[in-house]
Structure 1
Amino acid sequence: MTQLSQPRRTNLPRKPIPPEELLRRRQLRDDLAARCRVIFERVRPSLIDAHYNWYIAIDPDTEEYIVDPTFDGITKKVVSSYGYSNEPKLTMFRLNDTGSCGKI
């Protein structure tokens, strides 16, 4: 009995993104982050004591937010609430003194 093999999938190189598109995407992210930062600074004092160092994801259009103590947890909550999209809709912060989630 001869077993038929499946066609082999190959990963094609990605198409390069034009610099104008990269700049447009960066501007959208920066604008979103600035709008979310205003809301974060307003809600942080009421949440920081009970949820210190938790993650918070903020929707600037509705001013709603989601909090969770773990990165995986907040990611799952965001995906279940907003779905998955290539366009950013929320900004994530950490409920601490700086709001920073950390950088590598």
Structure 2
Amino acid sequence: MTEAKSTHQVRRGRIFPEIQWTQEQQSQWKAEREALKERCKLIFHQVQAELLKTHYNWYMAVEPESGEYFINEDILLVGKQAHEKYPNAKLHVFRINETGISGKI
């Protein structure tokens, strides 16, 4: 008996093509992200001391336009909560600790 051979070929490489940005576009994107982070950081620092006492190492998603923030133990859930109320908003997520970040690189 002969076995049937599969003709399925495995795709190699990236599924999605890389985004080709100019240096100017990359710089603009980085500047916009940094500006968003700074606006959110102001809100984070306003409530950080109080939240350190009650929600240490939880996550906080900040929506800078409204000044509203969401807190949760799970980073995925805090993002989900924020996007349910503000589906098209750009958010920034902080960890509620002394530095506002999750770890070191």
Counterpart residue type for residue 100 of structure 2: G
Change (3 A) 1:54 1:18: same
Larger radius of gyration: 2
Question: Is structure 2 residue 49 aligned with structure 1 residue 45?
Answer: yes
Q: In the alignment, what sits opposite 1:89?
A: 90
2:28 aligned to 24, 36, 48, which one?
A: 24
Provide the TM-score with structure 1 as the length reference: 0.76
Shift of 1:76: 1.5
Corresponding residue for residue 100 of structure 1:
101
Aligned length: 93
The whole-number CA distance in structure 1 between the counterparts of 2:80 and 2:31 is 26
Aligned-residue RMSD, C-alpha: 2.2
Runs of 4+ in 1 over 4 A off after TM superposition: none
Deviation of 1:103 (Å):
5.1
Cα separation, 2, equivalents of 1:81 and 1:91: 15
For structure 1, the 5+ residue unaligned runs are: 1-10
**Structure 2: gaps spanning 5 or more residues:** 1-14
TM-score using structure 2 length: 0.76
Counterpart for residue 8 of structure 1: none
